[in-house]
Amino acid sequence: MAESLRVTVDDLARMRGQLLFDGPETRTKLSRFWALLALASVIASAGVVGDSTATVIGAMIVAPLMTPILGSVLSIATGDGRNLARSLALVAGGAAAVVAIGYAIGLLVPYDVVAATNSQVASRVHPRLIDLLAALATGAVGSFALVRSDISDTLPGVAIAISLVPPLAVAGLTLESGAPHQSVGAALLFLTNVAAILLSGLVVMALYRVGRTPGSANARTGHRRLSAALVLIFTLVIAIPLAAASRSLTDETRNASKVEKVAEGWARPAGWHVDQVDPSSTRVVVHASGPLPAPSTALLRAQLDAAGLRRLAVRLELVPEYTFNLGGK
C-alpha cells in the first residue's frame, strides 16, 4: 500500500511537463496559456452577459488557469522556488487579465450586468463556507488525477466543478456596472477556489511523497513547511468572510421564514395572500395581494414584534386586486 502512494521519477517528469512553464518549450506553453485564457475570458463574459449556463461551462473547460495553480502546488512540494514564483505570477497576471477583459466587454453592453437581473452573477457574488468545502474536494480530485495518469480523464469534470475564470469575468462586469461590492464577492469566490486547490493539492502531494521523489529540488524541509503553512493561513483567512456570509445567509433565511408565517396569519382573515417574501441583509420584503380594503399594516407590525422580530426591518408591498363583472346581452 505504501508503495502505491509514491510517484516515480517518470511521474514527476510528466507532471512537470504538464504544469511548469520552463524548459525549451516555454514560449510555446506561454503563448498557448495566454491565447486560451483570452478566449476563455471572452466566452465566460459573453456567457454571463447572456445568462447562459452552457456557455459559461464551455469557458470553464477552455480556461487554463488550473495549470499554474497546480504548478504552484507541485513547486511547493518539490521545493522549486523559481517555478513557484513563475506559477504564482501567471495566476496573478492571468486573473488581472480576465477581470480586465470582463470590464472591457461590460463597456459594450448597454445595460448593467448585476445580480438583481442575472442568475450567473447572482450565483457567484455571495460565496459561503460550503463553496470552500466543495472546492477543497474538487481540488483534491484534480491533484489526484494529476498524480495518477490512469485517471486523467476526470480533469474536464474538475474544470467544470472548480470555477476560476467565470468569477473573474463577473468581477470585471460588475465593476464596470457600478457594483463594486458584487465585484469583491466574485473575486472572493475566485480566491476561495485558489486557496482550496493549493491546500488540498499539497495534501495529495504529501500523501504521494512527491517531495521525496528523486529529482525533486534540493530544498530544505523547513522551506516546504513554511510554504505549506502560508497556504494554510491563506485558506483560514479566506474562510473568515465565508463563515460570516454563511451565518448572515442563515439568519436571513430564518427571519424570512418567520416573517412569512406571521404575514400569512395577518393576511388570511382579510382575504389577502402573501405572494413572496424576499430576505436581504438589511430588511425583509413582503409582497402581498388581495381585495380592498387592505389589512392594517400597524397590526402586522405589532404581530411581528410579538413574534420576537421587533428589531427586524420589514417592507410591505401591497397590490390590490379589483374584480369587475361585465354583464352580457
Q: What is the pLDDT of residues 190-217, one digit of tens each?
A: 999 999 999 999 999 888 888 777 655 5
Are 215 and 266 within one domain? Answer: no
Strand, helix or coil for residue 279? coil
Are 86 and 13 within one domain? Answer: yes
Are 79 and 208 within one domain? Answer: yes
Strand, helix or coil for residue 186? helix
Peptide bond into 293 cis (omega under 30): yes
Are 161 and 22 within one domain? Answer: yes
Number of domains in the chain: 2
Are 313 and 186 within one domain? Answer: no
Asked if 173 and 44 count as a contact pair (C-beta separation under 8 A), the reply is no
Structure confidence at residue 144 (pLDDT): 85
Burial 187-206 (b: 16+ CB within 10 A, else e): bbbbbbbbbbbbbbbbbbbe
Residues 6 or more apart whose CB falls under 8 angstroms from that of 226 comprise: none
**Distances from the Cα of 104 to the Cα of 7, 48, 118, 280, angstroms:** 44, 14, 18, 30
Does a structural domain hold residue 240?
no
DSSP-assigned letter for residue 116:
T
Its pTM stands at: 0.83
Structure confidence at residue 279 (pLDDT): 85
Structure confidence at residue 326 (pLDDT): 82
Does a structural domain hold residue 139?
yes
Alpha helix segments (H runs only) across the chain: 9-19, 26-49, 53-62, 66-78, 81-108, 119-122, 129-147, 155-161, 165-176, 180-207, 221-267, 297-306
Structure confidence at residue 6 (pLDDT): 74
Structure confidence at residue 285 (pLDDT): 92
Are 202 and 276 within one domain? Answer: no
CATH number at residue 299: 3.30.300
Packing angle of the helix pair 66-78, 9-19 (nearest 10 deg): 140
Are 129 and 50 within one domain? Answer: yes
Are 211 and 258 within one domain? Answer: no
Does a structural domain hold residue 239?
no
Does a structural domain hold residue 56?
yes
Q: What is the pLDDT of residues 291-314, one digit of tens each?
A: 988 899 999 999 999 999 988 999
Are 81 and 213 within one domain? Answer: yes
Domain that holds residue 314: 251-321
Residues of the chain with pLDDT under 50: 1-2
Does a structural domain hold residue 329?
no
